[in-house]
Amino acid sequence: MKIISYNVNGIRAAINKGFIDWLKSADPDIICLQEIKALKEQLELELFEEAGYKFHYWFSAQKKGYSGVAILCKQEPDHIEYGTGIESMDFEGRNLRVDFNDISVMSLYVPSGSNIARLDHKLEYMALFQDYINKLKKDRPKLIVCGDYNICHQAIDIHDPVRNKNVSGFLPVEREWIGNFIDSGFVDSFRHFNEEPHQYSWWSYRANARANNKGWRLDYAMVSEPLSERMKRAVILSDAYHSDHCPVLVEIE
Protein backbone atom coordinates (compact mmCIF):
# COMPACT_ATOMS: atom_id res chain seq x y z
CA MET A 1 0.00 0.00 0.00
CA LYS A 2 1.56 3.25 -1.19
CA ILE A 3 0.18 6.31 0.59
CA ILE A 4 0.97 9.95 -0.20
CA SER A 5 0.04 13.02 1.82
CA TYR A 6 0.03 16.44 0.16
CA ASN A 7 -1.00 19.90 1.30
CA VAL A 8 -1.93 21.25 -2.13
CA ASN A 9 -2.66 24.85 -1.01
CA GLY A 10 -5.75 24.91 -3.22
CA ILE A 11 -6.61 21.84 -5.31
CA ARG A 12 -7.83 23.93 -8.26
CA ALA A 13 -4.57 25.91 -8.34
CA ALA A 14 -2.59 22.66 -8.09
CA ILE A 15 -4.51 21.17 -11.04
CA ASN A 16 -3.58 24.22 -13.09
CA LYS A 17 0.07 23.50 -12.25
CA GLY A 18 -0.03 19.91 -13.53
CA PHE A 19 -1.20 18.03 -10.45
CA ILE A 20 -3.21 15.42 -12.38
CA ASP A 21 -0.30 14.35 -14.59
CA TRP A 22 1.92 14.18 -11.51
CA LEU A 23 -0.68 12.05 -9.69
CA LYS A 24 -0.78 9.55 -12.55
CA SER A 25 3.01 9.33 -12.49
CA ALA A 26 3.32 9.03 -8.69
CA ASP A 27 0.57 6.37 -8.74
CA PRO A 28 -0.23 6.01 -5.02
CA ASP A 29 -2.95 3.64 -3.85
CA ILE A 30 -4.23 6.39 -1.57
CA ILE A 31 -3.52 10.12 -1.55
CA CYS A 32 -4.50 12.31 1.39
CA LEU A 33 -4.93 15.98 0.53
CA GLN A 34 -5.02 18.98 2.82
CA GLU A 35 -5.96 22.64 2.31
CA ILE A 36 -8.08 21.83 -0.73
CA LYS A 37 -9.81 25.26 -0.48
CA ALA A 38 -12.79 24.05 -2.51
CA LEU A 39 -16.19 22.42 -2.30
CA LYS A 40 -16.75 19.13 -4.08
CA GLU A 41 -19.27 20.85 -6.36
CA GLN A 42 -16.57 23.25 -7.58
CA LEU A 43 -14.36 20.45 -8.95
CA GLU A 44 -14.25 18.44 -12.16
CA LEU A 45 -14.39 15.07 -10.40
CA GLU A 46 -13.92 13.14 -13.65
CA LEU A 47 -10.29 14.37 -13.71
CA PHE A 48 -9.55 12.28 -10.62
CA GLU A 49 -11.58 9.33 -11.86
CA GLU A 50 -9.79 9.33 -15.22
CA ALA A 51 -6.49 9.31 -13.30
CA GLY A 52 -7.56 6.05 -11.63
CA TYR A 53 -9.17 7.34 -8.43
CA LYS A 54 -12.80 6.34 -8.77
CA PHE A 55 -13.29 6.61 -5.03
CA HIS A 56 -12.81 10.13 -3.74
CA TYR A 57 -14.05 11.71 -0.54
CA TRP A 58 -14.15 15.42 0.31
CA PHE A 59 -14.57 17.15 3.65
CA SER A 60 -14.61 20.87 3.05
CA ALA A 61 -14.65 23.74 5.50
CA GLN A 62 -17.90 25.64 5.95
CA LYS A 63 -15.99 28.80 5.00
CA LYS A 64 -15.52 28.88 1.22
CA GLY A 65 -11.98 28.85 -0.16
CA TYR A 66 -10.50 27.75 3.16
CA SER A 67 -8.94 24.63 4.68
CA GLY A 68 -10.58 21.28 3.84
CA VAL A 69 -9.26 17.75 3.36
CA ALA A 70 -9.81 14.93 0.88
CA ILE A 71 -8.78 11.35 0.24
CA LEU A 72 -8.54 9.74 -3.22
CA CYS A 73 -8.45 5.93 -3.40
CA LYS A 74 -8.00 3.35 -6.13
CA GLN A 75 -9.99 0.78 -4.18
CA GLU A 76 -13.26 1.34 -2.35
CA PRO A 77 -12.87 1.64 1.43
CA ASP A 78 -15.02 -0.34 3.85
CA HIS A 79 -15.91 2.84 5.75
CA ILE A 80 -15.47 6.61 5.48
CA GLU A 81 -15.47 8.83 8.57
CA TYR A 82 -16.04 12.54 8.02
CA GLY A 83 -14.64 14.62 10.85
CA THR A 84 -14.23 13.69 14.49
CA GLY A 85 -17.63 14.57 15.91
CA ILE A 86 -16.05 17.52 17.77
CA GLU A 87 -17.85 20.65 16.60
CA SER A 88 -14.99 23.10 17.22
CA MET A 89 -12.81 20.97 14.91
CA ASP A 90 -15.14 19.79 12.20
CA PHE A 91 -16.53 23.05 10.81
CA GLU A 92 -13.07 23.80 9.39
CA GLY A 93 -12.84 20.45 7.54
CA ARG A 94 -9.67 19.07 9.11
CA ASN A 95 -10.12 15.29 9.51
CA LEU A 96 -11.19 12.55 7.12
CA ARG A 97 -10.61 8.80 7.53
CA VAL A 98 -10.95 5.73 5.32
CA ASP A 99 -10.82 2.13 6.55
CA PHE A 100 -9.55 -0.85 4.56
CA ASN A 101 -10.03 -4.11 6.48
CA ASP A 102 -8.08 -3.53 9.70
CA ILE A 103 -6.04 -0.53 8.44
CA SER A 104 -7.24 3.07 8.75
CA VAL A 105 -5.78 6.06 6.90
CA MET A 106 -6.51 9.63 7.99
CA SER A 107 -5.96 12.95 6.25
CA LEU A 108 -5.23 15.57 8.91
CA TYR A 109 -4.82 19.33 8.69
CA VAL A 110 -3.76 20.92 11.98
CA PRO A 111 -4.53 24.66 12.19
CA SER A 112 -1.71 27.18 11.95
CA GLY A 113 -1.07 29.51 14.88
CA SER A 114 -0.73 32.68 12.83
CA ASN A 115 -1.93 34.94 15.65
CA ILE A 116 -2.80 34.66 19.35
CA ALA A 117 -6.44 33.69 18.74
CA ARG A 118 -5.49 31.07 16.15
CA LEU A 119 -2.69 29.75 18.36
CA ASP A 120 -5.19 29.22 21.18
CA HIS A 121 -7.49 27.41 18.73
CA LYS A 122 -4.56 25.30 17.50
CA LEU A 123 -3.58 24.26 21.02
CA GLU A 124 -7.19 23.40 21.87
CA TYR A 125 -7.48 21.41 18.64
CA MET A 126 -4.29 19.47 19.39
CA ALA A 127 -5.48 18.53 22.88
CA LEU A 128 -8.90 17.42 21.61
CA PHE A 129 -7.32 15.52 18.72
CA GLN A 130 -4.98 13.60 21.02
CA ASP A 131 -7.96 12.52 23.15
CA TYR A 132 -9.84 11.52 20.00
CA ILE A 133 -6.93 9.44 18.69
CA ASN A 134 -6.41 7.74 22.06
CA LYS A 135 -10.01 6.52 21.90
CA LEU A 136 -9.92 5.69 18.19
CA LYS A 137 -6.84 3.48 18.55
CA LYS A 138 -8.76 1.17 20.89
CA ASP A 139 -11.05 0.26 17.98
CA ARG A 140 -8.67 0.97 15.08
CA PRO A 141 -5.14 0.21 16.36
CA LYS A 142 -3.62 0.00 12.86
CA LEU A 143 -3.73 3.67 11.99
CA ILE A 144 -1.81 5.97 9.63
CA VAL A 145 -2.32 9.67 10.34
CA CYS A 146 -1.06 11.61 7.31
CA GLY A 147 -1.07 15.32 6.90
CA ASP A 148 0.10 18.81 7.60
CA TYR A 149 0.72 18.98 11.35
CA ASN A 150 1.94 22.58 11.10
CA ILE A 151 4.71 21.73 13.59
CA CYS A 152 8.42 20.99 13.24
CA HIS A 153 9.29 18.37 15.81
CA GLN A 154 13.01 18.88 16.31
CA ALA A 155 15.76 21.36 15.41
CA ILE A 156 16.77 19.10 12.51
CA ASP A 157 13.32 19.70 10.99
CA ILE A 158 13.68 23.46 10.46
CA HIS A 159 16.30 25.51 8.60
CA ASP A 160 16.91 28.06 11.38
CA PRO A 161 15.88 26.70 14.78
CA VAL A 162 17.42 29.58 16.74
CA ARG A 163 15.65 32.44 14.97
CA ASN A 164 12.37 30.52 14.75
CA LYS A 165 12.20 29.37 18.37
CA ASN A 166 9.40 31.86 19.14
CA VAL A 167 7.46 31.33 15.90
CA SER A 168 4.31 29.21 15.80
CA GLY A 169 5.17 25.87 14.24
CA PHE A 170 8.30 25.60 16.35
CA LEU A 171 7.14 26.78 19.76
CA PRO A 172 8.17 24.61 22.74
CA VAL A 173 4.51 23.82 23.54
CA GLU A 174 3.87 22.64 19.96
CA ARG A 175 7.06 20.58 19.80
CA GLU A 176 6.20 18.99 23.14
CA TRP A 177 2.75 18.06 21.85
CA ILE A 178 4.01 16.33 18.71
CA GLY A 179 6.66 14.52 20.76
CA ASN A 180 3.93 13.31 23.11
CA PHE A 181 1.77 12.32 20.13
CA ILE A 182 4.59 10.11 18.85
CA ASP A 183 5.19 8.72 22.34
CA SER A 184 1.49 7.82 22.59
CA GLY A 185 2.12 5.03 20.09
CA PHE A 186 3.23 6.35 16.69
CA VAL A 187 6.33 6.26 14.50
CA ASP A 188 7.42 9.27 12.45
CA SER A 189 7.86 7.17 9.31
CA PHE A 190 10.25 9.55 7.54
CA ARG A 191 12.63 9.81 10.49
CA HIS A 192 12.50 6.04 10.92
CA PHE A 193 14.30 5.73 7.59
CA ASN A 194 16.14 9.05 7.29
CA GLU A 195 18.07 10.97 9.94
CA GLU A 196 19.71 13.44 7.55
CA PRO A 197 19.30 17.22 8.06
CA HIS A 198 17.94 19.71 5.50
CA GLN A 199 14.89 17.57 4.69
CA TYR A 200 11.83 19.79 4.48
CA SER A 201 8.26 19.72 3.15
CA TRP A 202 7.28 23.42 3.23
CA TRP A 203 8.99 26.61 2.08
CA SER A 204 7.83 30.21 2.23
CA TYR A 205 7.09 31.82 -1.12
CA ARG A 206 9.25 34.73 0.03
CA ALA A 207 13.00 35.34 -0.35
CA ASN A 208 13.59 32.41 -2.72
CA ALA A 209 13.25 30.06 0.25
CA ARG A 210 12.65 26.88 -1.74
CA ALA A 211 15.54 27.44 -4.14
CA ASN A 212 17.77 27.97 -1.10
CA ASN A 213 16.15 25.07 0.79
CA LYS A 214 15.25 27.25 3.77
CA GLY A 215 12.31 25.13 4.77
CA TRP A 216 10.31 23.46 7.51
CA ARG A 217 9.23 19.80 7.82
CA LEU A 218 5.57 20.21 8.66
CA ASP A 219 4.10 17.17 6.87
CA TYR A 220 4.19 13.68 8.36
CA ALA A 221 2.95 10.16 7.84
CA MET A 222 2.62 8.92 11.42
CA VAL A 223 2.24 5.15 11.59
CA SER A 224 0.85 3.51 14.72
CA GLU A 225 3.18 1.03 16.39
CA PRO A 226 1.13 -2.10 15.49
CA LEU A 227 1.81 -1.27 11.81
CA SER A 228 5.39 -0.03 12.16
CA GLU A 229 7.07 -3.35 11.32
CA ARG A 230 5.25 -3.31 7.97
CA MET A 231 6.77 0.01 6.83
CA LYS A 232 8.86 -0.49 3.68
CA ARG A 233 10.00 3.07 2.99
CA ALA A 234 9.14 6.71 3.62
CA VAL A 235 10.36 9.65 1.55
CA ILE A 236 9.77 13.33 0.92
CA LEU A 237 8.85 13.98 -2.71
CA SER A 238 10.52 17.35 -3.04
CA ASP A 239 10.43 17.35 -6.85
CA ALA A 240 6.68 18.09 -6.86
CA TYR A 241 5.99 21.80 -7.38
CA HIS A 242 2.23 22.35 -7.20
CA SER A 243 2.17 24.06 -3.80
CA ASP A 244 4.32 25.71 -1.14
CA HIS A 245 4.38 22.20 0.39
CA CYS A 246 5.62 19.03 -1.24
CA PRO A 247 4.18 15.53 -0.80
CA VAL A 248 5.39 12.90 1.66
CA LEU A 249 5.10 9.15 1.00
CA VAL A 250 4.98 6.00 3.08
CA GLU A 251 4.73 2.41 1.87
CA ILE A 252 3.17 -0.27 4.03
CA GLU A 253 3.62 -3.96 3.26
Could you give the residue numbers annotated as active site? Answer: 148
Scanning the chain, the segments in alpha helix (DSSP H) are 11-16, 19-26, 45-50, 87-90, 116-139, 172-183, 189-193, 225-228
Burial, 112: exposed, middle or buried (Cβ in 10 Å; 0-12, 13-18, 19+)?
middle
Burial, 226: exposed, middle or buried (Cβ in 10 Å; 0-12, 13-18, 19+)?
middle
Of 170, 99, 176, 93, the closest CA to residue 130 belongs to: 176
Q: Do the beta carbons of residue 91 and residue 61 sit within 8 Å?
A: yes
Q: Do the beta carbons of residue 170 and residue 151 sit within 8 Å?
A: yes
Residues with Cβ within 8 Å of residue 234, at least 6 apart in sequence? 189, 190, 192, 193, 194, 221, 248, 249, 250, 251
